[in-house]
Amino acid sequence: MPARTFLAPFKPNLKPADEPLVMIKRSFVETLDGAHRSLLCQSDHWVHITGLQPRNLDGDIKEQAQDALARLDEVMAAAGITQAKLFTVTIWLKDMRYFSGLNAVWNAWVDPANPPARTCVSGELYRPDLLLEIVAVGFHSESKS
């Protein structure tokens, strides 16, 4: 699915009234199981990536993790950032029994010289065949607004 991009003005309540509007760039807009969402939102230097799931849900945790991390690479490339610019990654696992399989794939993917802060939690995911979902926050050295 090709990425669609929109720009929308946003004025945080914390800014003085005379400061300019901040533009939010939304990309990878999709509808998944009835929910409209943007996988990528950028404003100023911040890059927010959320709801990344594997495309193929037939695989085991290692296959799904590789697929989801490949999608993260795609979205980061579209945002103009690399792994070195990731601040945090949160991975939701369907079950913590998948933790070691996830870690094997994560450790092969992540840049050991620049690992982001990472949290891994478990919880019920909305589909029985979905084993993980990824949320990430990164920093772009050039303002995107």
Is residue 117 scored above 80 in pLDDT?
yes
Please give the pLDDT value at position 51.
85
* Residues 37-95: tens digit of each pLDDT: 778 788 878 899 888 999 999 999 999 999 999 999 999 999 999 999 999 999 999 99
Q: What pTM does this model have?
A: 0.79
- Are 83 and 114 in contact by the 8 Å Cβ rule? The answer is yes
Domain 5-139 CATH superfamily: RutC-like (3.30.1330.40)
Who's near 63: CB < 8 A, 6+ residues apart?
A: 54, 56
CA distances from 124 to 47, 89, 131 (A): 26, 19, 9
Flag the least confident range among 29-33, 86-90, 116-120. 29-33
- Domain locations along the chain: 5-139
